[in-house]
Structure 1
Amino acid sequence: MILPNGMDLTPDYEENGRWYNADGIPVPKIAEDGMVDYATFSGYRRYHAECHVCHGPDGEGSTYAPALKNSVLRIDYYDYQEIVASGKQNTGSGSANQVMPAFGTNPNVWCYVDDIYVYLLAHGTDMIPRGRPANKAEKSEAFAEQEDSCMSM
C-alpha cells in the first residue's frame, strides 16, 4: 500500500521488535487474522494515555485538534517527528489559534513516538478498526530492552 505522501507501507524488516519499510521508516504489520504487531498495540496504548485528550479517541480529531489518523497519511514521517518533538503553532487570520505542545522531552511520548505513528497509520488506512486491538503479538525481548533503555534515560 502506498500512502498519499508516497510512503510504502510494506513491512520489510524487523529491528528491536518494530517493523520498518525498505526506507527504514516504521510501519505497522497486521496479520491476515487481524493480529497486530506489538509496536502497533503499544502505539494504541500510548496514544490513548497521552494524545487522545486533544486529538480524540483513535486519532479521530476534536473541535480543536486535527484527526491524526488522517494527518499521518499526508505528512512526511520526519515532519511528524519534528511536530511531536518541538510542537506546532497555527495562528493567523480566519483560523483558530491552535497550539500543540512539544513532547520531545516527555519519555512517555518520545520513547514511543514510532509506536504511536504506526498505530495511527494502521487506523488511518483502515488496517485496524477503532478501539483496542483485540489480538496482539507478544512483546519481544528486543522491544522490552529498547523500551527499558529509553525510559531509564
Structure 2
Amino acid sequence: MALVLATGAAIAQENEVDNITAAYEEGGKYFTEDDVPTFNVKEDGTVDWYTFSGFRRYHAECHVCHGPDGEGSSYAPALKDSAIDMDYYDFVYVVVEGRKVVDAADNQVMPAFGLNKNVMCYLDDIYIYLKARGADAIPRGRPPSKDPKSDRFTEDENSCMG
C-alpha cells in the first residue's frame, strides 16, 4: 500500500505544472513552459522590468485593499498567495470580472477592473510581481535594482494606454 501511495505521489508531482520557473524570454518578459508570465530575479537581486513595473502598479492600484507587498489585510486576502495557488487565467478572470462571495460566513467583494486601464494595461506586471512575492523570490519593499525597460514594454504600454 505504501508503494502505491508513494508512486501516486510521484506521478502527481510529475503532472504538476511549474508556474514559476522561467523557460524563455521575449522582449524582456519571461514566461513558463506553458506560456504563463513569470519573473526573473538575478543572483544580485536585480529584477526584470515587468516585476518592477508590477511592484509600482500593485502599490498604485491594489495595496489599499490587499495590503502592502501582497501580504493581505483584514479587508482582503494576500494576493501573493493567489498568484502562486490560482491558475493564471483564473487570476485574470477575477481581476477583469470581479468576484462576490456573500454568505453567512463571508462578505467579500472584489470589484471588476476590466475597464480600468491602470490595471488592465499592467495586469501581467502585477501578476508577475505578486508571483515573485509569493515564491519568496523578492523581499518586501521596493526592489533595489531592475533591468532597463525594454522597447517591447514601451510599445505595449503606448498601445494599451492610447
Answer whether contact 2:69 2:140 (CA < 8 A) is retained.
Answer: yes
Identify the residue that residue 20 of structure 1 maps to in structure 2: 31
- Helix, strand or coil for the counterpart of 1:149? helix
Distance 1:56 1:103 in 2: 17
Partner deviation per Cα, 1:86-138 (whole Å, 9 max, x = no partner): 0011111122x111110111110001100000100101111000000001000
Answer whether contact 2:19 2:84 (CA < 8 A) is retained.
Answer: no
Identify the residue that residue 111 of structure 2 maps to in structure 1: 101
Equivalent position to 1:85, from 81, 87, 96: 96
- Helix, strand or coil for the counterpart of 1:114? helix
- The one-letter amino acid paired with 2:138 is I
Q: Which runs of 5+ in 2 are unaligned?
A: 1-12
Answer whether contact 2:19 2:36 (CA < 8 A) is retained.
Answer: no
Answer whether contact 1:16 1:146 (CA < 8 A) is retained.
Answer: no
Identify the residue that residue 156 of structure 2 maps to in structure 1: 146
Distance 1:55 1:117 in 2: 13
1:35 aligned to 2:46?
A: yes
Distance 1:103 1:17 in 2: 26
- Helix, strand or coil for the counterpart of 1:24? coil
The structure in which a higher percent of residues are helix is 2
- What are the within-5 Å matches in structure 2 for residues 110-149 of structure 1? 110-149=120-159
1:63 aligned to 2:105?
A: no
Identify the residue that residue 54 of structure 1 maps to in structure 2: 65
Partner deviation per Cα, 1:13-42 (whole Å, 9 max, x = no partner): 222431111111000011111100000000
User: Rg bigger for which structure?
Assistant: 2
Kindly state the Cα deviation for residue 6 of structure 1 after the two structures are TM-superposed.
3.6
Instruction: Give the paired residue count.
Output: 148
Partner deviation per Cα, 1:47-75 (whole Å, 9 max, x = no partner): 00000000000011111100001122111
Sequence identity (%): 57
Root-mean-square deviation over aligned CA pairs: 1.4
Q: Which runs of 5+ in 1 are unaligned?
A: none
Distance 2:67 2:116 in 1: 20
